[in-house]
């Protein structure tokens, strides 16, 4: 049974700044939840994070940039930032102090959940024609391999940063049923040899765009040179109103040659 936990703001502040001059400290960890105390001074130069996060303002006031939005904040305010979104505090007072709660999987909880550990994946996929500057955005390394795939669905292993998953997908794009099981590193490594010859490696960048988030995958090894942009949606109607930015090229949502499974077994970039 987990024991209760109690930590005061004063106890956390007593440890700031840290030994390297940092103005944050992790005070609690449980499952996917990490709780920090953050007290930036002067300039907030943080980068986007790979997980969803919540800020609760203890003291201080100023302005908060959250993707394309900028608004004022004050004590007691609640601020939510999806994974990968550019954000920072600006023009803030010297007494700024916030609780920070990181939670959920790498990449954030961006699916439409229908039951425990299951979701409906509604996705569109494009080939990137002109690669934009991705340096401001959070990224994560991905390796994934396939245990099984046929006309009805697929079974996939994926390492996403420090998270490990076994995922089952049923149906065909753009709407598929998806269910994922979290694995330990040891479980993942025990199954990984079974995917030999059916793997892809890529770095994924999380790029906010209007009401959506574009996931830009830069493939590696034998698929080097391929760059794919994927966008997940809450509904078919939501997907239909999406107009991609100019740097996104041909849509390949229903082109089976660009499915990750086809890329994994063929190990070559298909022709458009």
Q: Domain count of the chain?
A: 2
Domain boundary residue among 54, 69, 103?
103
Residue at which a domain ends, from 103, 130, 153: 103
Q: What pTM, to 2 d.p., does this model score?
A: 0.72
- The domain spanning residue 155 has which CATH number? 2.40.320.10
In the chain, the N- to C-terminal Cα span, in Å, equals 56
CATH number for the domain harbouring residue 69: 2.60.120.10
Largest CA distance in the chain: 61
Are residues 235 and 154 part of one domain?
yes
Following DSSP, what letter does each residue of 242-258 receive, concatenated? Answer: ----TTEEEE-TT-GGG
Domain region containing 122 = 112-266
Query: What pLDDT was estimated at residue 1?
Result: 43
* Residue 272 resides in a domain: no
With residues binned 3-state (H G I as helix, E B as strand, rest as coil), the percentages for the chain, rounded to 5, are 10, 45, 40
Same structural domain, 98 and 148: no
Q: Is residue 2 part of a domain?
A: no
Q: Is the same domain home to 147 and 239?
A: yes
Contact 225, 169 (CB under 8 A): no
**Pick from 70, 85, 103: which residue ends a domain?**
103
- So what's the pLDDT on residue 110? 62
Cα(237)–Cα(242) distance, integer angstroms: 9
The DSSP code sequence of 32-98 is TEEEEEE---S---PPP-SSEEEEEEEE--EEEEETTEEEEE-TT-EEEE-TT--EEEES--TT-EE
**pLDDT number for residue 182:** 85
- Clarify whether residues 208 and 80 are in a common domain: no
Contact 81, 89 (CB under 8 A): no
Residues 70 and 174 reside in one and the same domain: no
Question: Domain check: are 83 and 118 in the same one?
Answer: no
Same domain? For 80 and 138 the reply is no
Per-residue pLDDT of the chain (272 residues; tens, 9 = 90+): 457 788 889 988 888 888 888 899 999 999 889 999 999 999 998 888 888 999 999 999 999 998 878 999 999 999 999 888 889 999 999 999 999 999 988 888 764 443 444 567 789 999 999 999 998 888 999 999 999 877 678 899 999 988 899 998 887 777 778 888 889 999 999 999 999 999 999 999 999 888 889 999 999 999 999 999 999 888 889 899 999 999 999 999 999 999 999 999 999 999 98
pLDDT value of residue 117 = 45
Q: Would strands 112-115 and 78-81 be described as parallel, antiparallel, or unpaired?
A: unpaired
State the pLDDT at residue 18.
85
Q: What are phi and psi of 5, to 5 degrees?
A: -145, 140
Per-residue confidence (pLDDT) for residue 114, from 0 to 100: 39
Q: Dig out the tokens for 246 from the structure.
A: 């100019």
């Amino acid at each position: 049974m987990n024991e209760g936990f109690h930590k005061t703001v004063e106890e956390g502040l007593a440890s700031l700044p840290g030994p390297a001059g940092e103005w944050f400290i992790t005070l609690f960890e449980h499952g996917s939840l990490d709780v920090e105390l953050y007290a930036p001074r002067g300039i907030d130069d943080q980068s986007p994070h790979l997980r969803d996060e919540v800020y609760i303002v203890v003291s201080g006031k100023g302005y908060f940039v959250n993707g394309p939005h900028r608004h004022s904040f004050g004590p007691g305010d609640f601020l939510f930032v999806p994974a990968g979104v550019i954000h920072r505090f600006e023009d803030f007072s010297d007494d700024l102090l916030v609780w920070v709660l990181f939670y959920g999987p790498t990449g954030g909880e961006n699916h439409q959940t229908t039951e425990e550990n299951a979701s409906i994946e509604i996705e569109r996929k494009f080939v990137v024609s002109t690669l934009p500057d991705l340096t401001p955005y959070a990224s994560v390394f991905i390796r994934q391999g396939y245990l099984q795939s046929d006309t009805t669905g697929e079974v996939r292993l994926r390492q996403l940063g420090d998270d490990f998953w076994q995922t089952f997908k049923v149906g065909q794009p753009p709407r598929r049923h998806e269910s994922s099981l979290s694995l330990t590193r040891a479980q993942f490594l025990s199954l990984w040899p079974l995917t030999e010859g059916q793997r892809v490696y890529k770095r994924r960048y999380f790029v906010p765009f209007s009401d959506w988030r574009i996931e830009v995958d830069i493939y590696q090894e034998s698929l080097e040179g391929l760059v794919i942009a994927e966008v997940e949606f809450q509904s078919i109607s939501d997907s239909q109103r999406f107009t991609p930015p100019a740097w996104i090229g041909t849509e390949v949502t229903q082109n089976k040659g660009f499915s990750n499974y086809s890329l994994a077994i063929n190990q070559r970039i298909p022709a458009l």
